[in-house]
Amino acid sequence: MSELGLTLARLAFLAMLWGFVIATVLILRRDLRQPADARPAGQASRKPPKQPRPTRAGRRSKVVGSQLVVVEGPLTGTVIPLSSAQVTIGRAPDSTLVIEDDYASSRHARIYSSEGSWLVEDLGSTNGTWIDRTRITSPTLLTVGAPLRVGRTTLQLQK
């Protein structure tokens, strides 16, 4: 092989290597930011659910379960008191429960109250959100004591 051919082969290999590095950085950047176009089609346009209507006395109905407790994982023992505001779970720093886990997405799941009970919704995570041994695909009722698994972390709704 001539010197020119060898030099061109080296340059082509170097260009492919740099292309791989740039593609990897762009994919990691997209995963960390997770813009709306990176989410599954049904997740980007979904509107938040309606909040429960006040009862006749003007108070909200009593919601079953008052705290979310981490029972397995690096944050074992963490207690999150539940109010009418939603709880977001994921790796993003603005999440209510920040999980430093390679198996959790930036915006993994959210828990919110609706009509006196708590619902959990997967926000298009890669590895899924699980209640007991069932992967949830739509907003699902979270019962007291049922294990909710997000990545390597397991949570429970407690009274």
In the DSSP assignment, the letter for residue 115 is T
pTM listed for this prediction: 0.58
Q: Judging by beta carbons within 10 Å of its beta carbon (0-12, 13-18, 19+), is residue 147 exposed, middle or buried? A: middle
Instruction: Output the pLDDT for position 150.
Output: 92
C-alpha 157/C-alpha 68 separation (Å) is: 5
Please check the confidence at residue 10 and state whether its pLDDT lies above 90.
Answer: yes
Instruction: Output the pLDDT for position 13.
Output: 97
Confidence of residue 23 (pLDDT cuts 50, 70, 90): very high
Measured in Å, how far apart are the chain's first and last C-alpha atoms?
Answer: 76
Summarize pLDDT for 25-63 with one digit per residue, the tens: 998 888 777 645 445 544 444 555 555 554 444 444 455
Cβ(108)–Cβ(123) below 8 Å: yes
- Sign of the alpha-carbon dihedral angle for 51, 127, 102, 147: positive
Q: For residue 77, give the 3-state DSSP assignment.
A: coil
What the block records as the tokens of 15 is 């260009």
Bridge-partner residues for 148, per DSSP? Answer: 131, 155
Instruction: Output the pLDDT for position 65.
Output: 67
Please check the confidence at residue 107 and state whether its pLDDT lies above 60.
Answer: yes
Please check the confidence at residue 134 and state whether its pLDDT lies above 80.
Answer: yes
C-alpha 97/C-alpha 78 separation (Å) is: 9
How many CB atoms are located within 10 Å of the residue 14 CB? 10
Mean of the pLDDT values across residues 83-110?
A: 89
Strands 140-142 and 134-135 turn out to be: unpaired
Instruction: Output the pLDDT for position 59.
Output: 44
The percentage of residues in the chain with a pLDDT greater than 90, rounded to a whole number, is: 42
